[in-house]
Structure 1
Amino acid sequence: MELPDERQKFSTKRLMGKVAVITGGARGIGAATAKVFAQNGAHIVIADILDELGTKLADSIGGRYIHCDVSNETDVESAIQLALSWKGQLDIMFNNAGISGPEGSITNLDMKQLNSLLSINLNGTVHGIKHAARAMIKGGRGGCILCTSSSAALMSGLASHAYSLSKEAIIGLVRTTACELGVHGIRVNCISPHGVPSEMLVTAYRKLLKKVDMKAEEVSEMVAEKGSLLRGRCGSFEDVAQAALFLASEDAGFITAHNLVIDGGYTSASTTKSFIYQ
């Protein structure tokens, strides 16, 4: 399996001079993407509520950090304005921030908790697309908008009703906004990861298995065994970051309104071997 540092050796600077804003960029998928984008020549604004982590990462890649609660439209607008005042342009917007939200039966769903989740996962994405599109249209350079969905939007039973709802709505939003913004040279695409050992996924496994001290490595091992068609292989932050790099680059210049699924084939077929292959 190719290691992240080996990938770096073959960096082709595919984003040289581009300016990107990444929400939820302080850790996990967002942080991995910030590093990969920077390695490929991009200038990065990390927008998050994890100030210490975000500032440290931004400093390490020569970027900028801004405190940003994506449920607050003004915060998202400020993150984009930071990119514009810093480098005079916005080329890439990665709407990556999200939370897991309320679990349990639909019969007991707390609507206040649902609305809180939607304010981040869905409204936060709307805020990002809205203000990125404004900046990109005004700049006249086109651009790329990426959004993080999930395998839970494609397959039932993988996550809570609330989380699945929010992530499926993002796919629809990507398609409709791609329809409108294409005339301005703005591509809008989606990434749907599965089985990546984020803090969110690890927390879910801890609750499910009632094992409060469960480590990310243990979750990765479980996913590698049963969570994809590629046995012995689980998804990583770097896998998603490389997908984001492709979609953000000119290599994907004719791709828009697309949902790129990073799941090792999990949502496409049963991971239980059928008798027809025996």
Structure 2
Amino acid sequence: MGALDGKVAIVTGGTSGIGEKIVEAFVAQGAKVVMAARREDEGRALEKRLGVRFVRADVAVEADVKAVVDRTVEWFGRVDCLVNNAGIPSPMVSITEIDIATIDQVLGVNVRGVALGVKHAAPVMISQGTGSIVNIGSVAGLRGGLSAHIYGASKGAVQALTRSLAAELGEKGVRVNCISPGAIVTGIFGKNAGLEGSKADRVVGVLKEGFATIQPIPRAGLPEDVAQAAVFLASDGSGFVNGQDIAVDGGQTSVTRGWSATVAGRAAMAKRIKDAAAAL
């Protein structure tokens, strides 16, 4: 028996990286999964490979988010878990160089997308009297200097929103928790280096060596590490866990690293990623 047998889950941003591994882990644990993302080719491929349902959606657009929840209820009659995983990075530049369009775009996906997901999934869960919502934050929302200003602000907002939602929805049988990944090997770092999504996913191997020394545990974090935490929070085994933020970071947030060191490290990493992409 799987930890999620009989459960119906929605996972946003499920076509690559952490989201893809969450989808795989949920399926392996017995869940029926509806995956929502913008990249249709990758979504259809995963739909065929894993036997999940795919809905093309932009989480910053309310009509798209509502459609994902409506389709899930139409197909399966319920929603037991929502994983708000979809997110985008922002350039790691000085605050003096940030443009308004970037602020609006990042907050639109990373914060509004989470709020919209909960807005439309919560009524279904409340009517059932049970449900689990898992938001994906970041250690950048817990410590300054780990990532770009606006990205960190967006993830800090997700963490605060999680606590606030847990206060309301917990009274109605719906748990809301957050997972904050640390240095996880995913394509988001390639995207931040300027690569297109599918190409960014193909150079993640470059990150493993660099990420092995960022945290006390001497290896790079993997999407599977986050996926297993998501399985726990979606399962009945976490039935008394509500309003929490679990850092899956190998101990990264137990140490301190300055802004300048992070900027230099990101620049070096971006160069290695671009060099690897040029060799494809």
Q: Which residue of 2 aligns with 1:236?
A: 222
Name 2:97's counterpart in structure 1. Answer: 108
The 8 Å contact of residues 187 and 255 in structure 1, kept in 2 or not, is answered as: yes
Structure 2: gaps spanning 5 or more residues: 258-280
State the distance in 1 between where 2:58 and 2:192 align.
23
What code does the residue aligned with 1:196 have? I
Tell me the equivalent position of 2:147.
159
Aligned pair count reads: 253
1:77 matches 2:63: no
2:246 to 260, 264, 267: 260
| Superimposed CA distance per residue, residues 194-235 of structure 1 (whole angstroms, 9 cap, x where no aligned partner) | 11111112344689xxxx9x93222111111x211012x111
Cα deviation, residue 68, structure 1 = 0.6
Match among 103, 120, 129 for residue 118 of structure 2: 129
In the TM superposition, what whole-angstrom CA distance separates every residue of 1:72-113 from its partner, at most 9, and x where no partner exists? 011011111111000100000000000012441112221122
What code does the residue aligned with 2:223 have? F
Whether the aligned pair in 2 keeps the contact of 1:125 and 1:147 (CA below 8 Å) is yes
Equivalent-residue separation in structure 1 for 2:256 and 2:86 (angstroms): 30
C-alpha separation in 2, matches of 1:189 and 1:80:
19
Note if contact 2:9-2:34 (Cα within 8 Å) is conserved in structure 1.
yes
Deviation at 1:269, TM superposition (A): 2.7
Asked if residue 47 in structure 1 is aligned to residue 49 in structure 2, the reply is no
* 1:1-278 pair list within 5 angstroms: 12-138=1-127, 140-204=128-192, 215-224=203-212, 226-231=213-218, 233-270=219-256
- For residues 62 and 239 of structure 1, the distance between their equivalents in structure 2, rounded to whole angstroms, comes to 23
3-state SS of paired residue (1:122): helix
2:102 partner amino acid = Q
Q: Distance in 2 between matches of 1:48 and 1:219?
A: 24
Partner residue in 2 for 1:276: none
- Structure number with higher relative contact order (C-alpha < 8 Å, ≥ 6 residues apart): 2
Question: What CA distance in whole angstroms lies between the structure 2 residues aligned with 1:195 and 1:259?
Answer: 16
Q: d(CA) in 1 for partners of 2:55 and 2:192?
A: 28
Matched residues in 2 for 1:90 and 1:61: separation?
19
Q: TM-score, normalised by structure 2?
A: 0.86
Instruction: Give, in whole Å, the separation in 1 of the partners of 2:96 and 2:215.
Output: 31
Contact 2:134 2:179 in 1 (8 A): yes
For the 8 Å contact 2:36–2:55, the answer to whether it is kept is yes
Letter in 1 for 2:217: L
Structure 1 SS opposite 2:19: helix
CA RMSD of superposed structures (Å) = 1.9
